[in-house]
Structures are given as C-alpha cells and as structure tokens.
Chain A
C-alpha cells in the first residue's frame, strides 16, 4: 500500500477583477488533475520547469495551500477532510524542507527555540529535559555541533542553514518529507553534501521523500521514481533509470536533450530538440494535450481536442506511464518530428473581456511564464 495517495488534485487560484465588487474572472490552474502514489521508504522525484506547478503541488499535498479539488490520503487517512485542529496533529507525520534556507528560518529564533517549538506544540513527552536532549540529538543527526544551540540563523552558512531546516523537519519523526528544491539555493559543492545527508537520513530513519527540483541530475541521483510535470499536470512517470534512458513523452525528450553530455564528441553530434514558443499561461491552458502547442510530434487528430490520460505502456515499457496519445508510435519511429511554428497563445481566459483583466491580475499569469507573454516578440 502506498504511504501517500493523491487523486485528481487540483489547485486553481482565482483571478479576481474589480476594486469594490470583486468577481472571479478566471483561474490560474497551477495544479490541474494530478494523481500520485508514493511507496513508503522510496524517493519520488518531481521535475519540471519554473511555473509548471510542482511547488504548488508539494504545498497542496501538505495543505499549506488549500487544494480546490481532489483527495490526499496519507497512511490511509484522507487529510483534506480533517478539521484544522486534527490537521495540526497529523502534520507531525509529514514535513517540508524548503528551497531558501534563510527565508525558511525565523531570523529572530535561536536554534534551540526553533527545534524545541515543534516538540512543545506536539507535547513531545519528557518535558524540557527531554526536549533539550532531542535538540542535541537532531543537531548530531544533521552533522552540526551541539555548541550552536544558542546561535541565530544569520550566523550560519547556507549549507548549515539547510541542515537546520532538515533538523527541524525531522524533529517530530515524520514518515514523509517533501523537499521543495532542497539544494537549488546552495553552492554546487554544498549541494552534494546535503543530498548525501538526505540519503543517509532516509536509510537511518526509513523516510519517504518527495523531492521537487528542476535539476534533472539531482533528481536522477536520489529518486526511485521520477515524474515530469508540464503546465499543472504530470506528463510522464517512470522508474528513474527508465525515464532517463528512454523518455517517452515529447516534452521529456526535449527536457532530456537539453542536458549537456560531458563528452565533447557526443555533445557535438547528438541531436537536440529545441522547443519552440513559450510555456502557455496556466490561466488559459491549451485544450486537449497541454503540450500540443509546442510538440514536434503533434498530430492532426486528438492532440488538440482530447487531454491524454497518464497511462502505462505494458508492452513496450512496463512500469512506465506517459500522457501522450501517440507514445507508442513515437517510440517505434512511425511518427517523425516536424517543424513547430510558435503559436500565438492568448494570455487571458477567452471568455472574458481582456482589457480589465490585463490591468489587474494578468501579471500573476505573466509572471509564471518565463520570458514574458508568448507572442510578445
């Protein structure tokens, strides 16, 4: 049985217009129908470009952002149905490690106070003596000396701060840790140390990880299963080795081909898939397959009308799920890639008058699209 089950999760942020009488004129579909099954003791990697909704998905699973639809089942318990009080008690089972370790530590809180706080909130048994012991234990586990208990976050280096963030996440003995870009804010030399620490802790405390990252190498290194997100949905999910060896979805192929190969001879000759156009706005995602506007394998039928479900290909690649109508044909080479002309994509929900939205909240959507709105140049 899976430790974490996510079914048809949706997080839609309303776009409001009007100053006095606000009305909802649309929604940014940050997460739009995601299913996940995460086995206990494994690491699940979630990759995707900026703005694809991977961080929002992580926060929605933890109910830090309230999902608009779907279910999240942790250890057999539907956590979206829980009241706030009950939810607080359940929170000890899963914790989050944040991207920016400076921002995720309260600058006015000493290490001791920071690590004791969750123990007190959940009435960790044994009183203050036990709490102090636990704080020292936690510091030891993440490789920090006990002498730092009276220090403040600004006195630490980036790597040490991330260790503190990890120690805090471990304080309540959680079974699941969601790490949102745990190393992307760190120096490359420190990244490896933190990744290794995470791996070591996983073995020691049989933790389950969901690692959200845009760094393909990091995810490959630590994940058992990897899922690729595009525009609020998962387009491909497979065991890490399979996914990197044989990506099936056109988007994953493009993503993988963007990773440089350390061998200069291979690098010169290998073919790269350069995606045309920009990421469409999540406020107005394309109909049908989300990727059809940029897909070099796009076909005349189905792609722009029917949204492909994430399905397993038992014959060609067992355990490998992909959301593409033509995955088999692309794999077998029956279909060949063609030129893609960047399509003009409207930034605003089609149904409403564009002017009013553009002046109020359109920047929300625009900010998620790297390089500004499509068709701007």
Chain B
C-alpha cells in the first residue's frame, strides 16, 4: 500500500490546491489571452450595444427626411458637424440610419440563427442518437435541404410569404439547418464509439442518459463555434437579401443591405453612401468570425496546452 500512497501524494503536490478549473473556464482563459478574440469581442460588443441603445445614440430619427431641401440631384452633403456621415438622397441622416440598421441586422441574425440551430440540432440529435435507419432517413432529408440553393430558396420563401422580415429570417434559418444537423450528427457518431461511452454502457446507464449527459455535451463544441460563425454569415446573408429587395416591404426601414441598394443609384456622385453600410456589415461579420475562429482554437483539445 505504501507504493500507492506515494503516487497519490506526489500527484497532489504536483497539482497544487487551486479552484477546480472546469474545461469551460480554461477555454475562457485561453480566449481572453488571444488578441484576435479580444478584437472580435470588442467589435461584437460595440455592435450589440449600438443595436440595443440605437434610439439613445442616434442623433435623429432614421426616417426623418427634414433635410431634403439640402439635397440637389447629383450633389449630396457629405460629413458635417450636424450630420457625421452626411445626408442621403432622400434627405435623411445617414449616421442615424446606420445605427438603426444595426438593430435590424442583429435581430435577423439572432432569430435566424436560433431557428436554424434549434431545428438543425434537433435533427442532428435524432440522427446521432439513434443511428441506423433513423440516421439514414434524417440525413437524406437534410441532403435534400442542402441540394436547394439558399438564395433560390429565400426568393421562393419571400414569394410565398411576401416581402417581410419574417421571410428573410426563415430563409436564412432553413439554409443553416443542414449545416447544424450534419455537424452535430457527425460529432455524435464519433463520440458514440468513445471509451467513456462504452464505460457508461457497461455501468448500466440508460441510453437516453448516455446521449444527453455524455455524448451531446461532448459533441457540442463545434456547434457553438458554428453558431458564432453563422451569426456572421446571417448578417451578410440578410444584407444580401435586402439588397435584392426581398426584405421588409417598407422602403424607409433602415437596413444596411437596402442602403447599399439605394446607394447604387448614386454611386458615381456619392460613393461614400455605399461604403458606410458596407463597412458596417463587414465589421459586424468580422467580429463574429474572429470570435468564432478563436473559440474553435480555445475549445479544440488539439490546441490545448
């Protein structure tokens, strides 16, 4: 017995008493040390705060066109003290419209992600937990979803439901369902053969408990990463759909994609009107991408030091 106690005591000495570090906490520690992640989190933070507090930050209402008299065809007032980013052809304050546009983007991104992820995760769990013919059935269904081009589907949804925010959200969500389903299913299938699952089975733990307590939590990391990246994509996709005129039927709604479309007409005389919303889309998407990529690194055991 003396041999065993040595092992135990030396081991206690090598792991000095410190608060028990869960995997999540360690991942977070790695995340905040990564400058890429910090930049991404700042971008996301600014984006989210702006979206939430838009009415407080924006100097004017985004639909107020009281400066129409300052606009001449082919000549639009640039940045000034009153209007930081100038005035658009319809006499509205561009800065305020950009600020309120963040709201739309965040709303579409979060709702589309939530819908897509929930449906995708449900399908993935179904396929990954049962395997066999359930897996085949679910995955063939997912393949069918994958075979429909996203944009085409979005146009079809818009045509069916009419131009509205809801159809944009549904379209983006549906495009993301197969991605989540495949990702989770693949990860779960990989984990199902792991030794700790065998160990749980040999302990007589029920199938559902194994799936929900062991397999699913250990398969979730790539889904979280994918979720962050999907937010970035959803923002870009939402802008793209708005650019094509598939978004809200009210033309005065401040939306980054629609602002791009409108700026197209005055691209030669006022190119900056296209640059501002474009920059906003890029920065918001970049924030989520940076955080997503660094999350992947922080959570991936291969990067663990």
Contacts and interface: CB of A to CB of B under 8 A. Distances in A.
B199 A98 contact: yes
Interface residues of B, number: 33
Interface stretch (B108-116, B202-210, B259-267): B202-210
B198 to A, nearest CB: 5
B271 to A, nearest CB: 52
B7 A106 contact: no
Contact of A98 (B4, B15, B195): B195
A100 B205 contact: no
A64 B4 contact: no
Contact of A168 (B11, B198, B199, B214): B199
Interface of B: 1, 3-5, 7-8, 11-12, 14-15, 17, 20-23, 194-196, 198-206, 209, 213-214, 217-218, 301
Contact of A197 (B4, B203, B206): B4
17 contacts: A62-B202, A88-B206, A91-B202, A98-B199, A104-B195, A106-B218, A107-B218, A108-B217, A110-B20, A110-B22, A117-B200, A143-B5, A150-B20, A151-B15, A152-B21, A163-B8, A200-B1
Given A110-B20, A150-B20, A100 B195 contact: yes
A59 B20 CA distance: 34
Interface of A: 59, 62, 64, 87-92, 94-96, 98-100, 103-110, 117-118, 121-122, 143-145, 147, 150-152, 154-157, 159-160, 163, 165, 168, 171-172, 190, 192-193, 196-197, 200
A117 B205 contact: yes
Q: Which of A143, A157, A160 has the most CB of B within 10 A?
A: A143
Nearest to A106: B196
A65 to B, nearest CB: 9
A121 B209 contact: yes
A63 to B, nearest CB: 9
A62 B20 CA distance: 34
A64 B201 contact: yes
A150 B15 CA distance: 13
A100 B193 CA distance: 14
A144 B8 contact: yes
A52 B28 CA distance: 45
Given A108-B23, A122-B204, 15 more contacts: A94-B202, A100-B195, A104-B199, A117-B205, A118-B203, A121-B204, A121-B206, A143-B7, A147-B17, A150-B20, A152-B21, A156-B15, A159-B7, A193-B7, A200-B1
